[in-house]
Amino acid sequence: MASSGRGSGVGLRTDPAWSHYISIDGKTRNLKCKYCEKVLTGGIYRLKHHLAGTSKDVGACIAVLEDVKKSMLGVVSLLQQNLVKKSIFIEFEGDGGMAESESARKRPSEERTDESSNIFKRRNTQTTINSIFKKTEREDACQEIALFFYNNAISFNVANNEEFRRMLELVAKHGARFKPPSYHEIRVKYLKQQVEKTNMILEEHKLFWKKNGCTIMTDGWTDRSRRTILNFLVNSPRGTVFLKSIDASDICKTANKIYKMMDDVVEEIGEDNVIQIVTDNAANYKAAGDLLMQKRQKLYWTPCAAHCIDLMLEDFEKKIPLHHDTIGSGKKITTYIYSRTSLISLLHKFTKGKDLIRPANTRFATSYLTLGCLNENKGPLIRMFTSNE
């Protein structure tokens, strides 16, 4: 007599698990797994859970083939689903279910306790099966997400981004068959929506500027295409907002031209809302600030404190011989090391993976940062230059 349950007989063996065991004594109560050769007592029931890796009444097989494992997972899952359905049917069968429940309350307490415990055992078994499937599904999903990061050169720090987590939570909340946005939707529909939201946030900031005032900050930089870009930002106690960028590559940056650009920004924000405008301390910006204060007498021009410090450090380097010579020596050391790949590898060996700060073309105190970095790594550098390598 064929059976797929606990303690199966020897008769017709239609259960697919029968092809994955080795008989020990010709009986079906004691079976040996053909993959890991573990001896199981309890018949085909435990063998199936052993192969499926559910850890239900038996340990998981560590050598089973992946396709066999998935097949057995499907078999035990279907079996447990049928048991749960059968349990629910037995619990509520009779005269409309309510009469059966009423009679159940009249039964002896031992009988009710035994019956309910069996039902809950079966439901807990179903929970175990579902958790195993969910664990497998999560692994598959995580592998695809990780592959998306790798193939598209996305920084791993994005995984810590709150927007990334919120995105996945909303996808999970939607449930199965979620249809991701198309190329056109991302490029047109949702981009327009985000622009509208950004403009709404900007309007909220403008109301705050009218009430409490604000500071205009401007800074220039050169991009990889050698274009000169001027950024304008607005700061207030509510926060800093990026206002706009101007391509000033074709503009001669005289005091009058810079004054005209700053004056247009003040006009856009509203003169009554602007308390001060902050720029760097270059001569042309200082002259433009003076022109602006002559026209807009309610605001002040303020030089950038960080830029003032940069200019001070630059003067130290140019006008104090000891600083000039020491910085020159530091540049030679870093240039010598970083012009040879073998020396970079040797540097990482002695500094335990640390890099040196190298002087840049900008004046943002990189020369003194380089000296500080060389001083911090003085010991490893001495050992490196005196080593046999």
What is the per-residue pLDDT across 5-24, written as a single tens digit (0 to 9) for each? Answer: 444 444 446 677 777 777 77
* Section 347-372 average pLDDT: 80
pLDDT band of 2, cuts 50, 70, 90: very low
Fold classification of 209-303 (topology level): Nucleotidyltransferase; domain 5 (3.30.420)
Domain chopping of the chain, boundaries = 16-140, 209-303, 310-385
Query: What pLDDT, on the 0 to 100 scale, is given for residue 114?
Result: 46
pLDDT at 103: 46
> Contact at 8 Å (CB) between 304 and 278?
yes
Average pLDDT over residues 252-270: 89
Q: How many percent of the chain have pLDDT more than 90? A: 36
pLDDT confidence bin for 87, thresholds 50/70/90: low
Give the single-character DSSP code of 249. Answer: T
Residue 363 three-state SS? coil
Q: How far apart are CA 268 and CA 248, in angstroms?
A: 19
Average pLDDT over residues 172-182: 90
For residues 321 and 353, give the distance between their C-alpha atoms in angstroms, rounded to a whole number: 33
Q: How confident is the model at residue 138 (pLDDT cuts 50, 70, 90)?
A: confident
Tokens of 372: 């500080």
Interatomic CA distance for residues 245 and 39, integer angstroms: 74
Backbone dihedral angles phi then psi of residue 21, each to the nearest 5 degrees? -130, 165
Q: Which of 302, 143, 296 is nearest to 215 (CA)?
A: 302
**Quick check: helix, strand or coil at residue 78?**
helix
pLDDT at residue 121 in the model? 46
Q: What are phi and psi of 240, to 5 degrees?
A: -105, 135
Average pLDDT, the chain: 80
According to the model, what pLDDT value does residue 185 have?
94
DSSP letter for 60, please: P
Residue 385 confidence (pLDDT): 93
| Residue 215 bridge partners (DSSP) | 235, 276
Query: pLDDT value at position 37?
Result: 78
Q: Which pLDDT value is given to residue 66?
A: 82
Note the pLDDT of residue 8: 42
CA distances from 330 to 169, 335, 346, 353 (A): 51, 9, 18, 20
What pLDDT, on the 0 to 100 scale, is given for residue 125?
52
Nearest to 8 by CA among 23, 29, 26, 39: 29
Q: Is the pLDDT of residue 306 over 90?
A: no
Q: Amino acid identity, residue 10?
A: V
Distance CA 18, CA 75 (A): 13
Q: Judge whether residue 113 has pLDDT over 60.
A: no
